[in-house]
Structure 1
Amino acid sequence: MTTTDVSQLDAPRSPHARTRRGINLEKWGWIYMRVSGVILVVLIFGHLFVNLVLGDGVSQIDFAFVAGKLSDPFWQWYDFFLLWFALIHGSNGMRTIINDYVSAPRVRTILLGALASSAAVLLILGTLVIFTFDPCPAGADPALVASFCGDLS
């Protein structure tokens, strides 16, 4: 039986891994990637099935189709969860890549800041679009809006 002196072990792969007391953010990021990956598979295949298989397939997707979906609270929340899980999952993956391959501290800080900023902006804008989308704007040309809008005068 061989014993290994812990002081002779190599450092972890990422030279920027932090060891500190308290919550292990790397562990929770790893767990999030696995859980969100499973959830995303279900959400994405549901999204593809509804949009491409049911009804007339891809030929049914137009403004009225999207407006009809976004007027239903179920689809608003479905798209909300799809947006948030996918964007945070992708951002966490990019954060891991930046930490693994960018060795200059200043460049890493700039890239991580840009990543966090762009993810936050996309989450805010995407959420606003999902929950504030109005398929029947007042005063719009009736020929250009969905059939369920009725009289817009």
Structure 2
Amino acid sequence: MTSASPTRIPEPTTRYRRTGQRGINTEMLSWLFMRASGVLLVLLVLGHLFVNLWLDTGVQRIDFAFVAGKWTSPFWQTWDLLMLWLAMIHGGNGVRTIINDYARSPRTRLVLKGLLYLASTITIVLGTLVIFTFDPCPAGADPSLLPSICK
């Protein structure tokens, strides 16, 4: 039986040199984005829940007219847009990391990430369109079917 040489583990304070890698470290930027967007998302979601569920009469007041009235304000449009974009990019980045960790073949990884990017892009584009083109009072609609904010 031959004895293998023991593996030497460097001290934790040892600084490693980056070999053969130049330019931007995208994985580090991804890691930093996940931390920053996570903190911002917590604040946005807690603010969203506070305004929608706790103020006034709470959840009983949430209906079509409530959302339509909220989206007449550029502030709430921007708030919801930021929440949508950050949540989709944050979640997509997390799923991308999982795909990189667990997909064994490069082809599977390519297909899964392609589907992820497609689904994320479609959701972001459609969500953005809904937030900015939403019209609760369409022209020519039956007035009895319109919400109270249209009268």
Give the drift of 1:21.
Answer: 2.1
Report 1:1-153 matches (<5 A). Answer: 4=8, 20-150=21-151
Deviations 1:58-91 (A, max 9, x none): 1111100010011111100000100001110000
> 1: CA distance between counterparts of 2:84 and 2:136?
20
TM-score norm. by structure 1 comes to 0.84
Structure 1 residue ranges without an equivalent (≥5): 7-18
For residues 60 and 5 of structure 1, the distance between their equivalents in structure 2, rounded to whole angstroms, comes to 61
Q: Go from structure 1 to structure 2 and tell me whether the alpha carbon gap of 1:50 and 1:88 turns closer, same or farther (over 3 Å shift).
A: same
- TM-score, with normalisation over the residues of structure 2? 0.85
Q: 1:88 to 1:23 in 2, by over 3 A?
A: same
Distance 1:20 1:113, change over 3 A: farther
Give 1:131 deviation, angstroms: 0.5
CA distance in 2, matches of 1:22, 1:49: 43
Cα-to-partner distance string for 1:111-140 (whole Å, 9 max, x where unaligned): 000000110110000000001100110111
Name the count of aligned residue pairs.
Answer: 136
Task: Tell me which amino acid in the other structure corresponds to 1:115.
Answer: L
Measured in 1, the distance between the counterparts of 2:64 and 2:146 equals 8
SS for the counterpart of 2:66 is: helix
Structure 2 segments unaligned to the other structure (5+ residues): 1-7, 11-19
Residue 5 of structure 1 deviates from its aligned partner by 8.0
Alpha-carbon distance, 1:143 to partner: 2.2
Structure 1 residue ranges, 4+ long, deviating more than 4 angstroms after superposition: none
